[in-house]
């Protein structure tokens, strides 16, 4: 009786196993998410560029310059004599503050304190990293950064939310050539 029961269990186990079949994809619409993301980012970029153009239009006194990186800036204090700008590996010391496009202060110069930064060797948001390379020692510059040049989609996990364009007031004190 035990051997018949054992044989039946063995037959049941062997007959219940089917060969595995490959799973078929559930969705066949490839690229639809990417296309939606591209369209959303284009619309956001156009909206932010319009906000920047509005700020520039309202400020009839200052001359703004558009950078190759896609942000705008103006000099508050400009050095017309020196030719020295920081390059890769140079050390700069600077202060800055950040506000949103409505003028609401996000981080004050006092909170951020003096920053010592090695050009392109340390973490700093993209726009400021590129903006510092345009400055000379003792210059003051105001930068208008679209969100993709600032903290982008992720924000800074503190006070800067998702897709927030920023205004940065920067004072570059010193450039130490490496």
pLDDT value at position 33? Answer: 83
Is 70 among the domain residues?
A: yes
Report pLDDT digits (tens) over 120-153.
Answer: 999 999 999 999 999 999 999 999 999 999 999 9
Return the SS3 of 18. Answer: coil
Q: What is the pLDDT of residue 32?
A: 81
Is 10 inside a domain boundary? no
In the DSSP assignment, the letter for residue 158 is S
Query: In a 3-state reduction of DSSP, which class is residue 152?
Result: coil
- Under a CB-based contact definition with an 8 Å cutoff, are residues 82 and 72 in contact? no
Strand, coil or helix: what is 45? helix
Total domain count for the chain? 1
Asked whether residue 114 is assigned to any structural domain, the reply reads: yes
Tracing tokens 């364009």 back to the chain, one arrives at 165
Q: Distance between alpha carbon 52 and the CA centroid of its chain, in Å? A: 17
* Coil, strand or helix at 133: coil
3-class DSSP state of 143: strand
Q: Kindly state whether residue 30 falls inside one of the protein's structural domains.
A: no
Rounded to two decimals, what is the model's pTM? 0.81
46 in any annotated domain: yes
Q: Domain of 133?
A: 42-176
Is residue 47, in this structure, part of any structural domain at all? yes
Give the contacts of 126 (CB within 8 A, at least 6 positions apart). Answer: 69, 148, 149, 150
DSSP string, 88-132: TT-EEEEEEEEE-TT--EEE-HHHH--EEEETTTS---HHHHHHH
Can you give the CATH number for the domain in which 113 is found? 3.10.50.40
Could you tell me if residue 6 is inside a domain? no
**Residue 12 falls inside a structural domain:** no
**Residues of the chain predicted below pLDDT 70:** 1-3, 5-6, 8-22, 24-30
Alpha carbons 84 and 175: distance in angstroms, whole number: 8
Residue 46's SS3 state is: helix
Return the exposure string of 112-126: e unless at least 16 CB atoms fall within 10 Å of the residue's CB, then b.
eeebebebeeeebbb
């Amino acid at each position: 009786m035990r051997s018949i029961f054992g044989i039946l269990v063995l037959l049941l186990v062997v007959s219940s196993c089917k060969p595995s079949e490959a799973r078929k994809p559930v969705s066949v619409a490839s690229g639809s998410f990417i296309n939606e993301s591209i369209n959303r980012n284009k619309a956001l970029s156009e909206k932010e560029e319009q906000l920047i153009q509005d700020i520039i239009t309202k400020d009839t006194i200052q001359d703004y310059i558009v950078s190759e990186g896609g942000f705008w800036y103006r000099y508050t204090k400009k050095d017309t004599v020196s030719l020295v700008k920081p390059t890769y590996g140079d050390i700069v010391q600077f202060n800055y503050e950040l506000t949103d496009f409505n003028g609401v202060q996000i981080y004050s110069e006092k909170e951020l304190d003096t920053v010592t930064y090695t050009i392109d060797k340390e973490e700093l948001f993209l726009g400021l990293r590129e903006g510092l390379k345009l400055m000379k020692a003792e210059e003051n510059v105001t930068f208008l950064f679209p969100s993709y040049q600032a903290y982008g989609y992720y924000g800074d996990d503190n006070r800067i939310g998702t897709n927030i364009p920023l205004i940065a007031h920067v004072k570059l004190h010193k450039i130490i050539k490496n």
